[in-house]
Structure 1
């Protein structure tokens, strides 16, 4: 969790703590943070919540370091500006026979900075990390690349294609916040999302975008993720 996520942290954290399947919550914050107590107050007394102070680093490294504190067989991620929908992990683990899978992703809405839903995302190829629920042992065996500023989830997804059993829960269980000053802002994918959400603020275009993206999402609902045509695997399963 970074300073840029401060305005959204309370909502994000409460969405996670509100999930009855979640037995442990690890909140990773920058080691010199001075405002967490003032912002969260009594929320910090929740017995399931553990605050871990770490040096500022790329997302992959933070997620890897957090694994050292995980006591549960499954781990789920949530960035400090995203919001889980009600009973997210409950729905993922009950709708899918989790004994057959190592990772269960879900679909997501795109929201503007104040949290208003603007569009349905397709999520045909890879789910947002904030939607993942994955076996802890799998993440310990296949950690994220700690040297990537952005895209560590995509690199991991391709690298583990032959080794990690992944499936999709085709329900909207995450609200992904599109904001201008996030780490991923310069990426082409984020720029496309920003343009779409910006257009959706128009009173005429907004309802049209919701209707069109719902139709596209509904037509593409399935319980498997597609392999992107630009992805290539070498013989040992790594991307080339």
Structure 2
């Protein structure tokens, strides 16, 4: 099919203020063959009231469930997708109108499982601003690069439904980092392609879950540990070791910056260097920590 059906999953909790704007940005796509599945994860705000007038569009489906957390909400959405391709949007974010028009044609080979893109940023008042991408973006077989950094901005990704059928849905044992776990598993069997255009608009505002630095690293360690246990034999030992070293150093840097502490970040950075003594990143982090420049 030239224009296959794309299913878009929005799992939302108490995003009534922003959700209609997110939905409308998807319905306004220049690519028209799509459906939008909104999973309301037990919201207690005005979510239902605000989107009910939008349900006159036959492409929009609204499902309210008890509050079960984002992994189960996303999986509920995935279970209802009818499309050959699946995309995501968080309830407080937006799509550029040409997102699918740019990304769907890149699925031009059966081995391409994920197409992702660059992002732009807005604040809670819809004000746009520039921000340097934090990571290098990679294409092809990217497991080793993903082990070091999750360089795929979640909401930018479009995936083949076959990825889910072959390699599973979100792991609902994790509250955070569920996209990194998903990409790691998919990377074993599928190629990733990068669209350099900014097709996704990420909203940054105070209090959102992604600001919980300690929680992010707690789950990242769990994800890496489980991935190594299940799939480590498929990956070069050097890549696994490098990933662990980077994880410890990155946590040390992040916690030193977030909490302005010294002892625990020092332990993490030293641990990382001991695992990979040639790590320039680790030695630079150690010097910066002692100079209080992190």
Which TM-score applies when normalising by structure 2? Answer: 0.61
Partner of residue 179, structure 1:
205
Which whole-Å CA distance do the structure 2 matches of 1:11 and 1:159 have between them? 32
Query: 1:146 deviation in Å?
Result: 0.7
1:134 to 128, 134, 159: 159
Alignment of 1:11 onto 2:27: no
In structure 2, the residue corresponding to 1:160 is in which secondary structure?
helix
Q: Residues 94, 32 of structure 1: CA spacing in aligned structure 2 closer, same or farther, 3 A cutoff?
A: closer
Q: Is the 8 A contact 1:67 1:136 kept in 2?
A: no
**CA displacement 1:42-71 (0-9 Å, x = unmatched):** 211110011112222332222222122111
Which of 154, 167, 173 in structure 1 is aligned with 2:193?
A: 167
Structure 1 residues 181 and 171, CA gap change in structure 2 (3 angstroms): same
How far apart in 1 are the matches of 2:197 and 2:120?
A: 10
Pairwise CA distance, 1:6: 1.8
Deviation at 1:111, TM superposition (A): 1.8
Q: Secondary structure at the match of 2:64?
A: strand
Relative contact order, higher structure (CA 8 A, sep 6+): 1
Larger of the two Rg values belongs to structure: 2
**SS at structure 1 position matched to 2:18:** helix
C-alpha RMSD of matched pairs (Å): 2.7
8 A Cα contact 2:13 2:43, kept in partner: no
Q: What secondary structure does 1:235 align onto? A: helix
Q: Give the secondary structure class of the aligned counterpart of 2:209.
A: coil
2:125 to 114, 120, 140: 114
Contact 1:9 1:80 in 2 (8 A): yes
Change (3 A) 1:95 1:166: closer
SS at match of 1:86: coil
Partner of 2:233: 235
Closer, same or farther in 2 for the Cα pair 1:183/1:90, shift >3 Å? same
Normalized per residue, which structure has more helix?
A: 2
Q: Alignment partner of 1:63: what SS?
A: helix
Counterpart selection for 2:116 from 95, 98, 105: 105
> Which residue in the other structure is 1:2 paired with?
13
Unpaired runs of at least 5, structure 2:
1-11, 138-149, 217-226, 245-294
Q: Which stretch has the larger CA shift, 65-74 or 91-100? A: 91-100
Displacement, 1:98?
5.3
Aligned with residue 65 of structure 1, among 76, 90, 106: 76
Deviation (angstroms), 1:104: 0.4
TM-superposed deviation, 1:166? 1.1
How many equivalent pairs are there? 199
Q: Distance in 2 between matches of 1:22 and 1:181?
A: 35
Asked if the contact 2:111–2:190 (Cα under 8 Å) also holds between the matched residues in 1, the reply is: no
Superposition TM-score, scaled by structure 1 size: 0.73
Aligned partner of residue 93 in structure 1, secondary structure = helix
